[in-house]
Structures are given as C-alpha cells and as structure tokens.
Amino acid sequence: MRGQAVKTRAPATTANLGPGFDCAAVALDLWNDVEVTEGGDEPPDPTHIGIRAFGLVASPEGLSFSWSERIPRARGLGSSAATIALGLVAAAKWSGEQIELEDLLARGGPLEGHSDNLAACLAGGCCLTWAGRVERLADTLPLTPVAVIPRELVRTAEARDALPSEVPHADAAFNVARAALLGAGVSRGDARLLAAAFEDRLHEPYRPSSLLDAIRADMPVGAVGVTLSGSGPTVIAWAQDAEACAAELATRFPAETVLALSVSAEGAH
C-alpha cells in the first residue's frame, strides 16, 4: 500500500485472568491507533517500540507515524503489546506482506518479553499461548470485564522481579486446578466455572494490591470474580451485571477510573 496512508488499530488486553499466568489473555474493546504515511519532517524515532516492531517487517525510513493512545500506559492493560501489534500489522499492510499470526507473534514476542498480551492483541477474543503457539478459544466470554484503573503506574519488569523463583507444591497444585477450570469455562462459555477459576497463587500474592484485596473481600453487586490485570495496578471485576457492578465500584473508588469493557472478537487490524 505504498503511496497511501495505512491505518491500523490494536486492542487493549487483560492477561493472566487469575491462574493463567503468562499464558491466558483477553482482547478488550479499547483501542490504540497508528497512521503511516510517506514523508515527514522528522525521521522515525528508533527507540519507539512501535517503530522497532515495524522495522521487524519493513523499513520505517522515510515514513511518518501518527500514534493515537487510548489505552493507559503502565496500568496492566497491554499498552506496550498494542503498540508492538500496531507496528507489526501496519508494516505488513505497508509492505503488502501476508504474515501468519504465529509468525507475527514470534517477531514481536522478544520486544514484549512475554507473549500472552501480544497473542490476544493480534488474534482478538480469548487466547491461550504456549511455546510460540496461539489458540483462540472464544470470541467472547459470558462475563463482562469491569476495569478499575488506579492512577499509579506499575512497571512490568519491576513487578516480574517480585515473583519468586519457586513456589510451594500446594500452591502449584492449586493453580493447576484453577487453570483447568479457566480453560473449561472459557471454551464452554460457562460463567459458573469461570467464577470458580478466578483465584491465583502464582503471581497475585507477590504483587500486593490493596484495591484487589478490597474488591475481593466485598464483591460488588453483579460480580462473580476479580483478577489483577496483567501485573497491575488495574483490577478486573468479572460481572454478570456490568452496569450495576461499575456503578458500585465508581462510588466506592471515586479516585479510580472505572470502565465497563466488552471483549473484542477482533484483534489488531
């Protein structure tokens, strides 16, 4: 599509979903955009992660990039994955190259450092990823994610540094059961199984969140579970009645941003 403007969108994501550490994520209907055109007054910034991703597919030299960001940065909603996906998909469009999903994931994964957010961002829906593979299990979920977004930032690298190198066998067994429930609940569209799955002992206990603790201790009306989004600080309440849940959370946490979001069946495009 050289000589024309290329416009690309990529969704936010929420990863882990409780026990699905580093392997499960859902695309959300909250989008970042980029427009790529020829020319420009300034050369592309080689340190920008989206430009670096673009360069994995096509040369960014001589091009202009206009980025629009709606996904909050460093809040656990996959902003970096969205920017990487924008670069990869925009470059494929610009070059006219047809690239398979798992090839895009392989190229962009090292920039992200872990593939769960990027897989869901590229594929849409609810995805599992392992060993460079992606399986999209569902277009949507029977529960609505209500995001409670604090003002403070959490750097993913710092949050990962807080995780122990080993966990007790009992905690690992606990997570195996919940992860199995998570996969079954997603694939069957069963809210009851998902409600039983949203507990974790691999990462959430090592990423202290007073917000997560407060919501879990006093579950809002309409919600059946709550998870830390990625490495935080955003918390997701999984609701059968999203309107009632969001209204209560907004009243209880007036300093935070509360968004009722839908699962996006569409990934970066």
What are the pLDDT digits (tens) for 142-190? 999 999 999 988 887 787 888 999 999 999 999 999 999 999 999 999 9
Q: How confident is the model at residue 35 (pLDDT cuts 50, 70, 90)?
A: very high
Res. 2: pLDDT tops 70: no
| Per-residue confidence (pLDDT) for residue 3, from 0 to 100 | 57
Interatomic CA distance for residues 165 and 187, integer angstroms = 31
Contact by Cβ (8 Å): 30, 9: no
Average pLDDT of the residues of the chain = 95
pLDDT-derived band at 112, boundaries 50, 70, 90:
confident
Class of domain 6-138 (CATH, top level): alpha beta
Worst-scoring range by mean pLDDT, 109-113, 142-146, 186-190, 263-267?
109-113
Helix (H, G, I), strand (E, B) or coil at 114: coil
What is the Cα–Cα distance from 21 to 61, expressed in whole angstroms? Answer: 37
- Give the C-alpha separation, 252 to 113, whole Å: 35
Cα separation of 17 and 27, whole Å?
Answer: 12
**Neighbouring-strand partners of residue 64:** 37
The pLDDT of residue 158: 81
Q: Where are the domains of the chain?
A: 6-138, 144-260
Mind listing the pLDDT tens digit for each residue in 45-88?
A: 999 999 999 999 999 999 999 999 999 999 999 999 999 999 99
pLDDT at 219 over 60: yes
144-260: CATH topology: Alpha-Beta Plaits (3.30.70)
pTM for the model: 0.94
pLDDT at 246 over 70: yes
Is the pLDDT at 41 greater than 80? The verdict is no
- What angle (nearest 5°) sits at the alpha carbon of residue 230, between those of residues 35 and 75? 60
Same fold, 6-138 and 144-260: no
Q: What is the mean pLDDT of residues 230-244?
A: 97
Q: Return the pLDDT at 1.
A: 55
Q: Is the omega angle on the peptide bond into residue 110 within 30 degrees of 0, that is, cis? A: no
Cα torsion 34, 27, 238, 161 to 10°: value is -80
Question: With contact defined as beta carbons under 8 Å apart, do 78 and 25 qualify?
Answer: yes
Tell me how far apart the alpha carbons of residues 198 and 181 are, in angstroms, rounded to a whole number: 9
Predicted local distance difference test score (pLDDT) of residue 48: 97
Condensed to tens digits (0 to 9), the pLDDT of residues 87-103 reads 999 999 999 999 999 99
User: What pLDDT, on the 0 to 100 scale, is given for residue 114?
Assistant: 84
